[in-house]
């Protein structure tokens, strides 16, 4: 594989089967794609979530359509000698650029597996900074680096923080608020933040003599998704308010 050009890892659909969560196969990606021997060598997760918290994160991912992918970055020293300095190794000689947002599940340098968050340090969900240099790759033209990593728009921690920060819908009594309310509100907040960022960074239509870049269709589809989520949240709020009113007790005055 050419250095600096990660490609999607093949998924064995038969292994995934008819599982009811096949759309969320990111949960099973490690077992399906990565050799079983790697499980003991898996990189430490960004946070040790409880089972109930993982379910919340998975449901929010499904609501916003942010399913994890699995990519592979392979760098071989001999490729660097023949093709030039690898774009995935930064100028400091010890930092790898994954080229997209993600979290590693397997890292090996010269066949030595790394499994802690101390080495390498994961920065901004994109850069891996090792304690030593990768000089053997960039100047010695020997050795190799292999990184398998999940890709996503939002990390598990960012999603769970959005869930924790979700505002209670107006007029809804606190004792009536459920996880469904908060998951829908968190999903809306995440999509709105994504739209705001895209409008600033990539919102303009660009045309030249031969090509046209127009982000409008994607933004319109996201807006329709936001509308559906808001309607679902409104329906839950109305149901909650009606149930609360029916539970009120009054005094009959003649």
Rounded average pLDDT over 164-189: 88
Give me the percent of the chain exceeding a pLDDT of 90. Answer: 34
- Model confidence at 14, in pLDDT bands (50, 70, 90)? very low
Q: Which ranges in 65-155 belong to alpha helices (H)? A: 77-83, 135-138
Among residues 243, 226, 221, 220, which one has the least CA distance to residue 190? 226
Which residue's entry shows tokens 């379910």?
55
Q: What is the Cα gyration radius of the chain?
A: 23
Q: Say what the pTM is.
A: 0.71
23-71 residue pLDDT tens: 334 333 333 333 333 333 456 677 889 999 999 999 999 999 999 999 9
Which residue's entry shows tokens 């608020």?
177
Q: Residue 146 forms beta bridges with which residues?
A: 74, 108
Per domain, the residue ranges of the chain are 7-156, 168-246
Bridge-based pairing of strands 127-129 and 121-123 is antiparallel
Q: Which ranges in the chain belong to alpha helices (H)? A: 13-16, 29-33, 51-64, 77-83, 135-138, 156-165, 179-202, 216-246
């Amino acid at each position: 594989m050419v250095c600096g050009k990660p490609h999607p890892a093949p998924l064995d659909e038969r292994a995934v089967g008819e599982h009811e969560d096949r759309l969320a196969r990111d949960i099973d990606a490690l077992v399906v794609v990565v050799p079983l021997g790697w499980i003991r060598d898996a990189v430490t997760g960004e946070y040790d979530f409880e089972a109930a918290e993982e379910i919340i994160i998975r449901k929010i991912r499904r609501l916003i359509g942010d399913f994890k992918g699995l990519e592979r970055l392979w760098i071989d020293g001999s490729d660097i000698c023949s093709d030039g300095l690898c774009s995935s190794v930064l100028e400091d000689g010890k930092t790898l650029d994954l080229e997209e947002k993600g979290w590693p599940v397997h890292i090996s340098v010269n066949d030595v597996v790394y499994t802690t968050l101390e080495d390498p340090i994961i920065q901004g969900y994109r850069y891996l900074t090792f304690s030593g240099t990768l000089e053997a790759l960039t100047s010695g033209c020997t050795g190799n680096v292999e990184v398998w990593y999940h890709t996503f728009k939002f990390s598990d921690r960012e999603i769970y923080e959005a869930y924790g920060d979700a505002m209670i819908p107006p007029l809804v009594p606190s004792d009536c608020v459920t996880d469904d309310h908060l998951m829908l509100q968190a999903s809306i907040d995440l999509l709105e933040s994504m739209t705001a960022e895209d409008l600033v960074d990539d919102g303009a239509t660009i045309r030249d003599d031969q090509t046209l870049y127009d982000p409008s269709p994607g933004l319109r589809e996201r807006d329709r998704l936001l509308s559906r989520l808001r309607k679902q949240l409104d329906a839950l709020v109305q149901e909650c308010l009606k149930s609360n009113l029916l539970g009120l007790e009054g005094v009959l005055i003649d």
